Structure 1
């Protein structure tokens, strides 16, 4: 089934070239069908790249998905044109009276700050509070996952001694939950962050389920028992080249970054990396849409 996106969104052409069925809002309005309405709060600096990555994963489902894009009004991103935001994004005030079947809150490059020091933290907490009554299920990614654990469950992050970047092996510790139905017991996933959360605190919390973890990169997938929140501490949405782009960018800026672990073939940054987490990413997103959004959301919001 198609994924419905704003007309002329640049990601649409990229996805169409990948043979992904794209339908713009104008054509979707003629379809006599109840699509899933998904809201994406995009906090990543390079918004167009993140849009494409997330839309690609949301498209792999027999369910028709209507996607709206949200940005913060309290902070203006410096890495995307204002015309792009004005044409394709909405602010919270514009959508706060709507109800959504699902929502994604992305990561953001602010993890070294305390949550309360983040410029748009007050606005984000207002949005996260609003999701309790206006969204069926929310997927939180990387810093977005840490923010959710802190705001909803009181679990704070802590700084790592060095940036955790690379592709790491993970293990399922709870394969019974529907989020990972069909997933392998072991899988790879990329990380790119300076902070982590405590596995012990997650295991001790009565409202949370640890779904997967890694001895090298810590807890990965966390689920609330009411299925309201899915928290993924890494970046399943990343393309094969994303970690490399970050590494070469930091090198060019003279930051002397650590080379991503188990990422470049033969640890040669001139070699093209492979995407070794794609199947797990598609399956997790499809399971979320099916079991936590489609099968939980009301047919008609009241």
Structure 2
């Protein structure tokens, strides 16, 4: 899927070197097709890294995607330049009149705060409410998944005795569900979080389907029965070295982190991590775009 991204977006250089299919406005307007319009609400502090990770996965199927990057106007990240936000991002107030085929709400390293204590919680809830009528399907990641479960379904998060960090094994409850079609019976995925949600509460909610669980890391992929909301509690989008970078950051900050589980070869942080989840990351995003966005969205919005 060629992604239409600005020529000067820093992620573009990285993705071009990886041979990801990109295009700009000039080429996009010459194609007589209806592109998918995807909005990404990027809540992560290091926005450029998250842009690269998500755009890489959106660029792996056969349709054209136009991407709008969004940041919260009620809270400005300290880890990205103002010029980057002004050049490549928009705010909710500028785009709320539009309709989108798909939306991604990322994670955020604010799990210790109750949802209502998060600076941009009122703005986020307004966006999630807006998504009910203006977005065909929304994919929520990690803290974004917990926020969606809380706002839409009343399922709260709870603090863990220690952080879940590492690469964990998962199973699939029903391989005929299109979101997990093609998944192995056992597959790996990264997790990195200090809070969790109750598997029992999810299973008891008639509005939700629990599609994938890890014996060590808990509920992983949850989908609403109307297919509008997909919640992924881990980070399939992570690069090979993201968990290593987080581990070293926490060490530097004096947090005395435990070694991410099942991540470094021989549990030796001096050895290079091996990416064992990339194919399922591409498969999840491809299935979401095909079956829950492209196949469901109207050709022309009302």
Fold match (TM-score > 0.5): yes
* Superposition CA RMSD, Å: 0.7
What's the CA shift string for 1:83-125, capped at 9, x where partnerless? 0000000000010000000000000001111000000000000
| Secondary structure of residue in 1 paired with 2:219 | strand
**Residue of structure 2 in register with 1:45 after alignment:** 45
Contact kept in structure 2, 1:146 and 1:233, CA below 8 Å: yes
Q: Given that residues 170 and 187 in structure 1 are in contact (C-alpha distance below 8 angstroms), is that contact kept between their aligned partners in structure 2?
A: yes
For 2:219 and 2:237, locate their aligned partners in 1 and report how far apart those are by CA, in whole Å.
Answer: 17
Q: TM-score, normalised by structure 2?
A: 0.99
The Cα shift of 1:4 comes to 0.8
Give me the whole-angstrom Cα distance separating, in 1, the residues matched to 2:67 and 2:234.
22
SS of residue matched to 2:220: strand
In the TM superposition, what whole-angstrom CA distance separates every residue of 1:7-57 from its partner, at most 9, and x where no partner exists? 311111110001111101233123221100000000000000000000000
Equivalent position SS for 1:212: strand
Q: Secondary structure at the match of 1:200?
A: helix
Look up the match of 2:103.
103
What SS does the corresponding residue of 2:103 show, helix, strand or coil? strand
Tell me the SS of whatever aligns to 2:261: coil
Q: Where does 1:217-296 land on structure 2 (aligned, <5 Å)?
A: 217-296=217-296
| Alignment partner of 1:134 is 2:131 | no
Distance 1:178 1:230 in 2: 12
Q: Which residue of 1 aligns with 2:19?
A: 19
Report if the CA contact (8 A) 1:39-1:69 is conserved. Answer: yes
User: Which residues of structure 1 form unaligned runs of 5+?
Assistant: none
Give the 4+ runs in structure 1 shifted more than 4 A.
none
2-structure distance, mates of 1:216, 1:21: 36
Q: Which residue of 2 aligns with 1:150?
A: 150
2:236 aligns to what SS in structure 1? Answer: coil
Paired residue secondary structure (2:23): strand
SS in 2 for 1:128: helix
Whole-angstrom CA distance in 1 between matches of 2:70 and 2:37 = 13
- C-alpha distance in 1 between matches for 2:23 and 2:271: 36
Equivalent position of 1:89 in the other structure: 89
Q: What TM-score, normalized by structure 1, do the two folds share?
A: 0.99
The alignment partner of 1:274 has SS state of: coil
Partner of 2:119: 119
Query: What do the CA deviations read for 1:162-214 (whole angstroms, capped 9, x no partner)?
Result: 11100000111122210001111110000000000000000000110000001
3-state DSSP of counterpart to 1:240: coil
Cα pair 1:6 1:68 within 8 Å, conserved: no
> Is the CA contact 1:174–1:210 (under 8 Å) kept in the aligned structure 2?
no
1:75 aligns to what SS in structure 2?
coil
Residues in 2 aligned to 1:254 and 1:245: alpha-carbon distance in whole angstroms: 14
Give a deviation string over 1:245-286, Cα, whole Å, max 9, x none: 000111122221111001011111111101100011100100
